Amino acid sequence: MKAIQCFDELTEHLKASGVKRRVAVVCGQDESTKGAVMRAKEAGFAEPIFVDNEDVDIAAAQAVALVREGKADVIMKGLLNTDNLLKAILNKECGILPKGQVLTHLTCAKLPMYEKLLFITDVAVIPYPTKEQREQQLIYLLGLCRKMGVEEPRIALISCSEKVNPKHFPCTVEYQELVEKTKTGAFGPCIVDGPLDLKTSLSPAALHKKGLSSPLEGRSDGLIFSDIQAGNVFYKTITLFCEAQTAAILQGPQVPVVLTSRADSPDNKFYSLALACV
C-alpha cells in the first residue's frame, strides 16, 4: 500500500477499499457534526447511528453499549462535553477500555509546508505520560502510521534540545530507553530517535546546520511530546497560524473514538471520522 500523503488520498483510499464502518454519533444534532457524518455516508465509508437523549450521560452510555453489543465500529462525539463521553467509555463495569490498555489521543495533521501527513501524540488526554504510557503511545502511533501505508514509521521523541538531561527533563532518559528498545526490534520496522527538538525532527536543513546526525534525517512521520502542554501548544499553533488540516481520535478503547472540539470545522470532523474508519 502506498503511503497516504493527504486527507483527500485518505478518503479516496476508503472509497476504493470498500470500508464501511457503523458510527455511533453521540448527540450529533449540531450542524457541523451532522454535516461531517452525512458527508462520510455519501462517500460510502460510514453508516451513522445517531444516539440522542436529553440526558447526555444516557446518550454516551447508549453509544458505548452499542459497541459492547457489536453493533458499532466507531464512536463520534457530537454536542456534549468530553468528560461526559469519557465517563461512559471508562466505566469500570460497562465501559469499553480493556484492562491494561492506555487511553490516549492521536492527531493527524497536514501542514502546507510539510511534504506528508504528520502524526502527533498526546495533545488532549494524558497530562504527564509515565514511562509505560509513553511506550503505549509509541505503539499506537506506529500502528496508525502503518494503517496509513507508512511501512517503516519515523518517530521523534520531542524535547527542547537534543541533550539527555536527567535533572531538569527526566523524560529524556526514558526517551533513550525507548530508542534502545526500538533497536532490539521490539516495535517492528520503525526508526525512533530522541531527544530531538521540533526543528531537527522535521527539517534536514536544521539538523545539518546544528551539526547533528539522526537516523530520522529531519523527515519524521510522528512526534511524541513530553507532556500535554507541549503537545497542545503545538497543535493550536499549527491550526491557528499554519491553517493545518487536522484529524483527531482516541485510541485504547475497543473502537476508535472521534474526539473533536465542538468548535472544530466540518472538514476537520469529516477527516477525523475518516481517520477512525481507516
Which pLDDT tens digits describe the chain residue by residue (278 residues)?
899 999 999 999 999 999 999 999 999 989 999 999 999 999 999 999 999 999 999 999 999 999 999 999 999 999 999 999 999 999 999 999 999 999 999 999 999 999 999 999 999 999 999 999 999 999 999 999 999 999 999 999 999 989 999 999 999 999 999 999 999 999 999 999 999 999 999 999 999 999 999 999 999 999 999 999 999 999 999 999 999 999 999 999 999 999 887 778 889 999 999 999 99
Stretch (H or E) spanning 3: none
Q: What is the DSSP letter of 4?
A: P
Residue 64 grid cell: 458505548
Tell me, what's the pLDDT at 263?
Answer: 72
CA distance 224 to 102: 15
CA distance 227 to 134: 10
Sequence letter at residue 155:
I
CA distance 105 to 88: 17
- C-alpha R_g of the chain: 19
Tell me, what's the pLDDT at 1?
Answer: 83
Domain limits of the chain? 1-97+253-278, 103-251
> How far are the Cα atoms of 90, 105, 135, 207 from residue 192, in angstroms, in the given order?
31, 19, 12, 16
pTM given for the model: 0.94
Task: Assess if CATH 3.10.580.10 describes domain 1-97+253-278.
Answer: no
Inter-residue contact 37 to 88 (CB < 8 Å): no
Same fold, 1-97+253-278 and 103-251: no
Place domain 103-251 in its CATH homologous superfamily: Isopropylmalate Dehydrogenase (3.40.718.10)
Stretch (H or E) spanning 247: strand 245-251
How crowded is the C-beta side of 88, counted as CA atoms within 13 Å?
A: 23
